[in-house]
A and B are shown apart, each in its own frame.
Chain A
Amino acid sequence: MPQTTMPMGRHLAEHPALKYLFFGGKGGVGKTVFAAAVAIGLARQGRRVLLASTNPVHSLTNLLGQDVLGKHVAIEGVPNLWAYEIETKQTIERSKLQIREKIRWFLKFADITTKADEFVETATMNPAFEESAMFENMIDLMFENAYDVYVFDTAPTANARRLLGMSKVYALWVNKMMKSREEARTLREMLSFTKKKEADPLMEYLVSFRDRMEHARVLLTDPKLTAFYFVTLAEALPIAVVTRFIQWFKDFGIPVGGVLVNMVIDPASLSPESADFVKNRVAMQQEHMKTIWREFDDNVRAIVPLFETEIRGVPMLQRLCDAIFAADGARPASAGATSPIAAAAA
């Protein structure tokens, strides 16, 4: 039976400077609970941790039993841990105002007498707008640097990758925009009577935007600071998603921290009399575990048992935290004398 050669606890100990931890994976695999449990583990080490949700469908408030929407809230029962669900509504409203101002200024600059509002609607009604608002909020948190560690519960699907990959794309188009702004400005100056150089708020915005994106890219691609963890079940579809994500992340140069497997039933808990349903599920999971070991190998950080209830509230999260950090890598990842299922059911 394969083993976790580098379990989560040791992996984190060997990356002491890690500051930005991201949790992703297919919907419903347990990203939020794993992000919360690892955040608890880091807070236990005495580090000041912010657990932040960038998932538009937030679940932290529900999971923790404390309202954390739009504000940093200290989590009861866990010293050094704060939680925060990023609220995009305010950001979107603020961005709309800023964009309106910029478009007005631009229309004036170009002597176009059209109302800015239509442009603002087109610019802000598309779904990517919320995504980029979320991204901006996220990097603002990172730049603020008010905590020792940030643990992000990310959106389930490709958004997470796009959010992070965006910094690269932004830089490309901002440079292009800047080039055409520069051309427009030079032409305007040539045509102007006074030859006086005017301030260009759009250009200033583009420059500061590009610098922010570059700063974000530097942080997000530094393997000492950043790691992206994937949560999966021992099932075909979540594994396929993780495999694809890992490839994308490699292409973007974003460091992958490893894979955590959730809800695994310990084969040792079976007996010949066990119900077929359970036997079949265990057989199915063990089949998929083979794929997991083959695909992720040394990147498997934890194999976590199926608990007897859903994970909700700080006490359950602490148990999950123990399960994630329990493995020392010396014993088989599943089965064995200290059966995780037996421990979980006790």
Chain B
Amino acid sequence: MDRRRFLQQAAIWSFSVPLVAHWPFSLPFSIDSVHAASEDTLRVKVGISKGKDYARLVRQSVGLVGGMSAFVKPGMNVVIKPNIAFDRSPEQAANTHPLVVRALAEMALEAGAAQVRIFDRTCNEPRRCYINSGIQPAIEAMANSKVRCEHIDNRKFVDTTIPQGRVLKRWEIYRDALEADCYINVPVAKHHGLARLTLGLKNSMGVLGGNRGRLHQRLDQNLADLATVIRPQLTVIDATRMLLRNGPSGGRLQDVRIENTVLASADPVAADACATLLFGRDPDQVGSTVAAAAMGLGTLQLNRIQRIEG
């Protein structure tokens, strides 16, 4: 090592280590935090696009945060996790829009994915949800054997310990979600009685087994704990239509606002924070976003988020 190299290294490390330490609650061996801090910018990117062509919106938003090839490498097993929780039609805004899911599947294939799996553990009867949400028909219309819209297979739930969990120490988690090379979380932005809003972090409950209702008793912290093990590489929030009242199941078109917006980010917390703004609320009004930020899982402060509108 020559002198110049030594000085360079010394400068970088002395600059970056205090930054890492400054991150609230980040663990000393948390590789993600070190990695995030040594990026050229501290600002986290969230791509936001508006328009009526939903497939184009998805491409644009993901393009603004680096494009699908930044997340999906050739040969990867990709999981796309939309919200298919309710037996509702697309315009009722209780589930992710089928065109958004389909666009992501197509993009993953274009980036070279070996396999794309799409699933959700629903609240209503699974077959009715898959079909009436429009997601299963949209995926089947692709007629590509690499893309599969699958029903949950109960044999695949794995009892998983959550070492960093503060209140949630273990739960049954779906194997495909844990083993995916690239996990893309695709929530729909909507109202929720207890959580106020359900966005990306809440959408992760769709890969959980067991009696999920119990998680409501400390929902915010449980979701943050869960986010330490279910870590989407990419979060795409569908705000093409937003359910404003009577969520999360909805059912009345009066409660739906057409927003024609799609957000994308590699930072799950920042994505939720930006989606919260669409409802006219501050990001810190959604408890799970706050709890996850407090655990160092992403960025909540808007001045640290670079909202790229396209």
Asked if A and B are interacting partners, one says no
Task: Name A residues whose Cβ lies closer than 8 Å to a Cβ of B.
Answer: none
Task: Name B residues whose Cβ lies closer than 8 Å to a Cβ of A.
Answer: none
